[in-house]
Structure 1
Amino acid sequence: MAGLPAWQHTPSGVVFRAVPGGTFRMGLSEEELAAVRAIDRNGGTEDSLDSFFAGAGDAQPVREVRVEPFLIARHPLTVTQVRHWLPEYEDDYADADSGAAHLEDDLDDLLEALPFRLPSEAEWEYAARAGTTTLTFRGDGKPGADQLVDDFGDEQRIAAAENAFGLAGMGSSNELCADVWISGFTGAPSDARPRTGDGPRTARGGAADLYPWQGCDEWLLLLAATRYEQPEFTSVRPVAPLPRG
C-alpha cells in the first residue's frame, strides 16, 4: 500500500514487503465454512459445493501458528523477472511479460538459481490474511473476478489490489510453497517451519489461472485457506530474510 516500506532486489526488479511477526489461526475455520454456506444459500454458487466441504479437512484442524518477521515479494515473479535468472525462459500461459510466470519444466532450474526461498504454507497464509480472519482479506463476501490480479504492469492497479501488508494478487496465481503436500494439519508445527519430505509440494491460490471462469466456483481458489497438491505449472512468490539494521 502507498507509504509502506519496500525493498528491491535491484538486478531483477523484484520488490519485497516486510511482513511483521505475530500469531494467527491457520486453516479453514468453522466461521469461514459458515460464510461459504451462506454464499451457497443465497444463490452465489454455480455448482454443488459437496466436494469443497468434503475436502475441508485438507485445511484443518485450525491451529494457532507463530510467525517470525520476513520479507515476501509484493507479487509473484513475472516473466521478465524470471528471465533475469533464466534468460531463455518462455511462458506458454502468460499474456504479457509483466504477467505472473507459470513454471513447469523450468521450475527446478529457477529454484536452484534464486537467491531466495519459497514461503512456507504458514507464511503464505499469514501474508494472505494480513491480520484478517475472513474468507479473503476483503471479508466474508463472495470474491469475484474483479479481485484477480495476474498482470503487474499497471502500478495503479497493483496498489489498489494490495492487502494491509502491501501484497497484491494473493490467491490469483497458484503459488508454490516450501511444504510437501500433506492432507490436513494434524501434527503440523506451531511455528512457520515448512513440513518437509518427499513428493509434490503444496500450492495456494490459482483463481486467475482458470480465468475466464467456467462456472465451477473457481472463486474458491481466492480463499486464504484453500490449499491443494502442486499442479502441472505453478508461480513463485519468493521470501527473503529481513535486512539487518
Structure 2
Amino acid sequence: MDYDITEYPRVYHGLCHLPEARLIEIANKAGASLKSIKPGLYGQIVESILKHIESFDELKTLLTPKDFDIIGQKNSIGDRKTWNRPYLDYDHAVFVDMTRKSYGVVQRPVRTSARNASHADLWLELASLKAWSKLEASQKTKVAKSLARSLGDGFTFVDLVGPHELMRFQHTAFKLHFIAIPGGKYSMGLTDDEKKELTRLAKKHGIEEAKYFARDIAETARPAHEVKLPPFLCAQTPITGAQGKKFTKSAELLESNHNIYWYGAKAALQLTEQSATRLPTEAEWEYIARAGAVRTWLNGEEDPQEYTSRILSAKLLEDDHPFGVCGLGWGTWVEDGWHLGYKNAPVDGSAWEPRDVPNVVRSGGFLSHPWQTPGEEFMLHCTYREQVKDREYPVLLAKDLPKRKK
C-alpha cells in the first residue's frame, strides 16, 4: 500500500505500541519479509507491514481485540470496559481513530470576524423564507429598492430570481451580482439519517475510497446542530474571469466553461478587503447549499454524474439552484477556522474562530471531475468540508445587510 505517515500518523504510532512478538506475527500474516530488520526496531517492522498490505481494511482483519485494547488505550481512546458510544463498537472506534487523516496540530492565530449582522433585524421582510414569500411582488420590489438605496452608490436592483423570487443586485463597479438570502433555521452538519445514507451508498459502491469519504464526512461534519442565522447578501457566482482582473493579479484562471478564478488563502482575504465584502461563514454556505433546509446534496435528487456533467457543460448562470447561487460545486473558501467536528460550534451563523488566513473550504466535487472513483461524488454532499493549506480555490463573496435608510 502507498502509505504516507504524515497523512495517517496514528496508524504508525498505534501499531508501534504493540509488542514486538505480536508485530512479527502480523508481518508474517501480511507476507512481509523481516530478514533485514534487527530485533527491537519496531518502526521498521511496522513500515514493512504497511508496505505489504493493500488497504487499511486488510489491516483491520489482521488485528485482534487485544491489539485494539492496547492501541485504544495508548492512543487515548479509552478502555474497552468503559467504552459507551451508541452505534459504534470499540474495535471500530479505535480503527477509525487510527486511520483518521492528520489535519496538523499547528493552529494559525485567530482574527476578528469580518461578519457584522447588527443591522439584520432591521429587515424583517428577510427574517425567513416564509416571511419573504408572504410578500406580494410589488412589496418585494419596494423592499429591493430600499435595500439598494441603503447599500449605497454602486448598487442597483436588477430583478427577482429563482422560485423564491429573491432580490438580485449588481455592484456596477465590480460587475458582481449579489442575492439577498433570507435568514432562517436549519440543521447544520450531518444528521443521523444522512450518515446512514452515506454508509449505505459507501457499501453499495463496495470500494475502499467510498468508505473513507463517508467516514471523513461523518467525523468532520458532526454533531448536527440547529443554527439560526440572519439574512445576508451572497455573490451569485464565485469570482470569474472578467471580475478577477479587477481585484488582484495573484489568482489563476481555471480554464473551463465557467471561467472561475482560483485564489490562495491570503489572496482570498485581500480580495474581500479590496471589495468591501467578506467570505461567507460555514453556516451561511451550508444554508445556501441546502437551499434553506430542503437539500442534502448539491445535485438535489439528480444523479451526481449526470448533474455534474450537465452543469459543467453549461454556462455558469444556467445552474438551477433554488436560491439562484451558482457554482457551489467548485468548492469555495469560508471564513471559519478549521475544527475537527462541530462540538461547541456557534449556533447563530457566525464564523467560528476565523484564522489570520482562511483554512477551510466547502465542497469541491467539480474540481475533481471526471471522478476516478464513485466515492468522489460524496464531495457534492452539502456537509462536505476540508482543511486546506497552500492550495488555491474559488472565492464566493458575501456581504452584511446595511443600516436601513428611509
Q: Please give the range of the TM-score, normalised by the shorter of the 2 chains.
A: 0.7 to 0.9
Seen in structure 2, the aligned counterparts of structure 1 residues 137 and 210 have a Cα distance that, compared at 3 Å, is: closer
1:21 partner amino acid:
G
1:103 partner amino acid:
Y
Alignment of 1:169 with 2:327, yes or no, is yes
2:307 partner amino acid:
D
Q: Structure 2: how far apart are the matches of 1:97 and 1:145?
A: 16
Aligned partner of 2:202 among 40, 50, 62: 40
Q: Structure 1: how far apart are the matches of 2:213 and 2:324?
A: 29
RMSD over aligned Cα atoms: 2.7
1:236 partner amino acid:
V
Residue 97 of structure 1: how far off its partner (Å):
8.9
Helix, strand or coil: the match of 2:335? strand
Aligned partner of 1:183 among 337, 340, 344: 340
Number of the residue aligned with 2:296: 135
Aligned partner of 2:382 among 224, 230, 235: 224
Residue 185 of structure 1: how far off its partner (Å):
0.7
Q: Structure 1: how far apart are the matches of 2:331 and 2:237?
A: 12
Q: Percent identity?
A: 27
Number of the residue aligned with 2:368: 210
Question: By percentage of residues, which structure has more helix?
Answer: 2
Please list every run of 5 or more consecutive structure 1 residues that lacks an aligned counterpart in the other structure.
none
Q: Structure 1: how far apart are the matches of 2:323 and 2:267?
A: 30
Q: Structure 2: how far apart are the matches of 1:112 and 1:240?
A: 11
Helix, strand or coil: the match of 1:53? helix
Query: Does the CA contact (< 8 Å) of 2:187 and 2:225 recur in 1?
Result: yes
Helix, strand or coil: the match of 1:101? strand
Residue pairs, 1:64-79, within 5 angstroms? 64-79=226-241
Number of the residue aligned with 1:8: 170
Helix, strand or coil: the match of 2:263? coil
Residue 213 of structure 1: how far off its partner (Å):
1.9
1:167 partner amino acid:
V
Residue 111 of structure 1: how far off its partner (Å):
3.4
Helix, strand or coil: the match of 2:341? coil
Number of the residue aligned with 2:255: 95
TM-score, structure 1 length as denominator? 0.84
Helix, strand or coil: the match of 2:277? coil
Residues 207-231 of structure 1: per-residue CA shift (max 9 Å, x gap): 1111222226221111110111025
Residue 198 of structure 1: how far off its partner (Å):
4.0
Q: Structure 1: how far apart are the matches of 2:270 and 2:397?
A: 14
Query: Does the CA contact (< 8 Å) of 2:221 and 2:384 recur in 1?
Result: yes
1:180 partner amino acid:
G
Alignment of 1:125 with 2:283, yes or no, is no
Residue 242 of structure 1: how far off its partner (Å):
2.9
Which has the higher relative contact order, 1 or 2, with Cα contacts under 8 A spaced 6 or more apart? 1
Residues 129-164 of structure 1: per-residue CA shift (max 9 Å, x gap): 012354215546652253364688x3xx624x2322
1:8 partner amino acid:
Q
Number of the residue aligned with 1:111: 272
